[in-house]
Amino acid sequence: MRVLAIGTTGVKMREVARELEECHKAEGKGRLGMYFVEDELKREVDWLIFLDSDDYYWQDRVWREATARAIARAEEEGVDHAAIFMNLPYFRKSRFFPAVDISLLRAFKPDVVLTLIEEAHVIWRRIQLREAKERTGAALRLKDVFAWRTASILIGDIIAKALGIPNVVIAVKHPAKTIYGVSIGGRRPRFYLSFPITNVRRDPEARKEIDSFRAKAHMRLVAFDPLTMDERILRTGERRGNVVVVHAEDRWLLPAGIKPAVEDEAELYPMEIPMEQVEEVLGDIDNIIRYKDFRYILQSDAVVVYRPFMRGMFHRGVFSEIMYASNTAHKRLFIYMPHEDRVAGMDSPFDPGVGVVDEDLEALFASIESFSARFSGQ
């Protein structure tokens, strides 16, 4: 497999690369080469001069030369599998660059584009801390980071469409084996995990139960998980004067025992974000979250749903994902709905054609395993 991994500045690509290498060692399937375009750039030019230059044609040329050197190294070393990492696009002084050279990337012959994403507030704070040490002149508002991430996904889609390959968008806080599975490992099938979030966020027992399900799913499946990014804390975080304070313990991320490929640095928290910057994005935050989750559904082969009527409530987010998966994305559904969640006199609110609805979680996983067996020859 050949992977073109892209993302914005601030995404910890080297940590992802190290975790992928560990996964590959466990697989033991040929040599894996990791290459970084920014390393090639910095060998030839001053990084700050490159970023700050007003000579767009020079920036474009040195980027192409650096990318060509990274591709050439992969060819010269003759590895069985290769991943080239690069920041795309760059963002400086409210300007995105460079224009991607598709013919150059085609020479690498990638099988998949992997667009790596992370929470906007984490990237924002990480860049702030880096700027305090290195003084590179980077100054971004929170809304800039959201826009940058959207531009990166769009460029990934453009590259993928031009090359006739998929662009898999994935948060770096997924387990490393999941990121490896959807890229170098080429794993199928892939699942999306749908479960109540908003209405049970402050219910410790419900969260514990849901996390138990998520842990089982991550151990058994290659699964996209919506809570590998938690940007809703921008809405629920503590208001203190003219800032929103985000504490490490506010986050609802992966369950205990499931290690993310990338973890937040302790120095990020408590994180104080100017209220005016948070208010700039709050109007769009739900749409941004929904877009990410629907994207995961589109990238999946099936959706595993956990208790859509948990605690006797109608969980709107879960049902929007069920409707999107069945009516728009045309994905198979596996729904866990225990007897206690059923309304008296109702067998199931779901049409039999929607997929499997089961009262027993282990029986549901058995159905998922049977479904997965269809992909064994791929």
The interaxial angle of helices 56-77 and 37-44, nearest 10 deg, is: 120
Integer Cα distance of 154 and 107 in angstroms: 21
**What's the start-to-end Cα distance of the chain, in Å?**
14
What DSSP assignment string belongs to 291-327?
A: HHHHHHHHT-SEEEEE-TTGGG---HHHHHHHHIIII
CA distances from 287 to 52, 196, 227, 230, 283 (A): 33, 17, 15, 14, 8
pLDDT above 70 for 366? yes
Integer Cα distance of 150 and 126 in angstroms: 18
Integer Cα distance of 31 and 29 in angstroms: 7
Q: What is the pLDDT of residues 182-194, one digit of tens each?
A: 999 999 999 999 9
pLDDT above 70 for 345? no
Q: Which helix (H) or strand (E) holds 225?
A: none
pLDDT for the residue 13: 97
Q: What is the pLDDT of residues 93-117, one digit of tens each?
A: 889 999 999 999 999 999 999 999 9
CA distances from 38 to 41, 117, 149, 175, 373 (A): 5, 18, 18, 25, 41
Alpha helices in 135-189 (DSSP H): 142-163, 176-182
**Domains of the chain by start residue, with CATH:** 2-187 (3.40.50.300)
pLDDT above 70 for 269? yes
Query: CB of 318 within 8 A of CB of 308?
Result: yes
Q: Is the dihedral of CA 47, 48, 51, 53 positive or negative?
A: negative
pLDDT band for position 29 (cuts 50, 70, 90):
confident
- Give 281's DSSP letter: H
* Region for residue 299 given its phi and psi (left: phi exceeds 0; alpha: psi -120 to 50; beta: otherwise): alpha
pLDDT band for position 134 (cuts 50, 70, 90):
confident
